[in-house]
Amino acid sequence: MELTGAQILWQSLKDEGVDTVFGYPGGAVIDFYDALVQYDINHILVRHEQGAVHAADGFARASGKVGVCMVTSGPGATNTVTGIATAYMDSIPMVVITGQVPTSLIGNDAFQEVDIVGITRPCTKHNYLVKDITKLERIIKEAFYIARSGRPGPVLIDIPKDVTNSRTLYQAIQGVHMESYNPTYHPNTKQLAKVVNLIKEAKKPIIFTGGGVVLSKGSEALTKLAQRTNIPVTGSLMGLGSYPGTDEKLWLGMLGMHGTYRANMAISDADLILAIGVRFDDRVTGKTDEFASKATIVHVDIDPTSIHKNVTVDVPVVGDCRLTLEALNQLLDDEDPAVIGPERTEWLAQIKKWKDTNPLGYNQKDCETIKPQYVIEKLFELTKGDAIISTEVGQNQMWAAQYYHFAKPNQWLTSGGLGTMGYGFPAAIGAQMAFPDKVVVDVAGDGSIQMNIQEMATAVQNKLPVKIVILNNQYLGMVRQWQELFYKKNYSQTDMTHAPDFVKLAEAYGAAGFRATKPDEVEEVLKKGLATPGPVIMEFMVSREECVYPMVPAGAPITNMLLV
């Protein structure tokens, strides 16, 4: 069957099971948009290309599928870079399609021409410039295969306009094999046997879970492993939800710079760390020389470059997290339950002691202004912990991580690696597209929300009932916190007092807006906001100088915590 390049693209997307694309048209992709009407695919028109990429990212994180977005050449393409880098750092499967000027004009500084393949080389898992229409279908197949396999990541396909509107045979290619790309899924069995022995011998073991467990759909196997071995679990920011955050007995909370006291102390005192699908980011390890110095470290990761990159590992296991955890569970089936899962009375009692001495906490009772932590806790209560939560970046993100307890994977969408302000709202739009009936809430700060606020129009136009909780402290809160603690309160350029009236802004976009200024209004505003159909902004005027605690100063050992 002979089709145009534009038709081949849509047909190939359908072959890959794509039903939703986020995008923004322009001259170089006009043929794609022209052909779109012939295909049964939802297209969400965003208001800025950055919004399209984050939305595709949020869609991918919530659904576990590949997120897809389409933009035009030149500025359309460059506007995606932040979103691509965000997805790359967090290993999110995504295909980004960019239009390009016709092949005859490439290199001529043509109108809206940019070398996007060159620009995105360091922040994509792979990228393509399609110079020949006969290669288009295979390239799209490869792109999806690369994006979702191994350690997932964003793949960009740059398609010149003449490739889009010429014709060739569409072949419905099945399957892809690439000689130079063969991820290792199955772990080495000898290494696994070592891990089993270490579990049997350990007195103070701890599991450290990360985004890889979520991405590989390994949560169930991880939970089984932890509970049968009685090993407490901590997680990286990206690992939240991979183990039930509601398990009082074994869940320690997040690790690292804003991790819990018990998690940081426990990992520093542990004799065995089972690190699964984590990459030992500096926000987790603090000073690496002093990180987990008493422990034997087992590190499971599908990406060999993650192993030994930041910390020295004793037992490296290259493999898919889910398959590795399942294989471990199988090996443990042959072991004596009393040996692999003893009560661990002393170890768990020690952890409880740490928890009791320095629990997460804040004092709303004696405070006349709203505490941001209180808003998150109420949000958790009212949504019964069942909402999909996306966040912006900064204090709002850390409070959401600390006070919304994620029981399941894929309900926590946050820019962990790149730390992208403006991520949360478009990501929430993407997640809401994947799950129209779920409650999706973007937890935002007054600074971050202004970075992609234009997507209000996208939410309203598509009747996406995304809820936005703005914790408004009229500051760039996290930078202000650093200035307070480490820069002698020199609040240079972090005052954000001049901001739009967010309630009116919501209304201007055709959405609803509510505001709480006193603690006793918090619950009412949340209830009203969650019950109101369509997109809603809920603005909470919170204590201006509230800080995120605990905190480990950057580069310090993680036991060196500022507690309040």
Partner 1 sequence: MNGDKSILSILVDNEPGVLSRITGLFSGRGYNIESLSVAETMEPGISRITMITRGDKHIVEQIKKQLNKLINVIKVLDFTDQRHVLRELALIKVHARAESRAEVLRIVDIFRCKIVDSGPDHYTLEVAADEDKLSALLNMLQPMGIKEIARTGSIALVREMH
Q: Measure the CA–CA gap between 73 and 25, rounded to whole angstroms.
A: 10
In the complex, what is the shortest distance from the CB of residue 75 to partner 1, in angstroms, rounded to a whole number?
A: 22
Residue 111 designated active-site: yes
Closest CA to 512 of 438, 459, 564: 459
Residue showing tokens 């999806």? 144
CA atoms in the 13 A half-sphere facing the CB of 81: 15
**Is position 47 an interface residue for partner 1 (rule: CB under 8 A)?**
no
Q: Which of 38, 111, 353, 381 is catalytic?
A: 111
Question: How far apart, in whole angstroms, are the C-alpha atoms of residue 206 and residue 233?
Answer: 6
- The pair of structure tokens assigned to 320 is 């898919």
The answer to whether 427 and 50 have CB atoms below 8 angstroms apart is: no
Q: Which C-beta is closer to partner 1: that of 178 or that of 339?
A: 178
Give the active site residue among 65, 125, 161, 378: 161
User: Judged by CB, which is closer to partner 1: 34, or 115?
Assistant: 115
CA distances from 188 to 182, 199, 217 (A): 16, 17, 20
Active site residue 478: yes
Q: Which member of 303, 335, 523, 545 binds partner 1 (CB under 8 A)?
A: 303
What's the min distance (Å) between Cβ of 312 and partner 1?
A: 9
Nearer to partner 1 (CB atom), residue 120 or residue 458: 120
Answer for which of 174, 305, 345, 492 binds partner 1 (CB under 8 A) is 305
Give the sign of the dihedral formed by CA 377, CA 521, CA 421, CA 359: negative
Among the listed ranges 1-9, 25-33, 100-108, 305-313, the one in contact with partner 1 (CB under 8 A) is 305-313
Residue type, 85: A
- Does position 117 interact with partner 1 (CB under 8 A)? The reply is yes
Binding part of the chain for partner 1, among 213-221, 236-244, 300-308, 334-342 by CB under 8 A, reads 300-308
Q: Is residue 129 involved in binding partner 1 (CB under 8 A)? A: yes
Query: Smallest distance from the beta carbon of 43 to partner 1, in angstroms?
Result: 28
- Beta-carbon contacts of 312 under 8 Å, excluding residues fewer than 6 positions away, are 297
Handedness of CA 71, 76, 82, 88 (dihedral sign): positive
Q: Which residues within the stretch 152-211 sit at the binding site for partner 1 (CB under 8 A)?
A: 178-181
How many angstroms separate the CA atoms of 295 and 533, rounded? 51
Cα–Cα distance, 443 to 465 (Å, whole number): 14
Q: Which of 55, 62, 146, 433 binds partner 1 (CB under 8 A)?
A: 146
Residue whose pair of structure tokens reads 């000689």 in the numeric block: 179
Q: How far is the CB of 126 from partner 1 (least distance, A)?
A: 4
Q: Under the criterion CB under 8 A, does residue 125 sit at the interface with partner 1?
A: yes
Alpha-carbon Rg for the chain, nearest whole angstrom, is 24
Told to judge if 161 belongs to the known catalytic residues of this protein, a careful annotator would answer: yes
306 to 345: interface string for partner 1, x by CB under 8 A: --xx------------------------------------
Q: How far apart are CA 525 and CA 540, in angstroms?
A: 9
We find the least distance from the C-beta atom of residue 561 to partner 1, in angstroms, to be 29
Query: Which residue in 16, 22, 32, 49 is the catalytic one?
Result: 49
Closest approach of Cβ 511 to partner 1, in Å?
A: 41
Give the closest residue to 505 by CA, choosing from 494, 516, 514. 514
Phi/psi at 562 (5° precision): -85, 120
- Cβ-contact 75, 48 below 8 angstroms: no
Q: Which stretch binds partner 1 (CB under 8 A): 282-290, 298-306, 326-334, 507-515?
A: 298-306
- Shortest distance, CB of residue 118 to partner 1, whole angstroms? 7
Nearer to partner 1, 117 or 196 (CB): 117
- Smallest CA-to-CA distance from 429 within 174, 142, 57, 74 is with 57
Residue nearer to partner 1 on the CB measure, 321 or 451: 321
Q: Give the tokens for residue 198.
A: 């270490």
Choices 117-125, 330-338, 386-394, 494-502 (CB under 8 A): range interacting with partner 1: 117-125
Per-residue x/- track, 487-526, partner 1 (CB under 8 A): ----------------------------------------
Pick one of 304, 337, 359, 510: the residue that binds partner 1 (CB under 8 A).
304
112 is catalytic: yes
In whole angstroms, what is the distance from residue 501 CA to residue 468 CA? 14
CA atoms within 13 A on the CB side of 155: 20
Q: Of the residues 478, 538, 541, 561, which is catalytic?
A: 478
Residue 487 carries which DSSP code? S
Q: What residues are annotated to the active site?
A: 49, 111-112, 161, 478
Interface positions with partner 1 (CB under 8 A): 117-118, 121-122, 125-126, 129, 146, 178-181, 303-305, 308-309
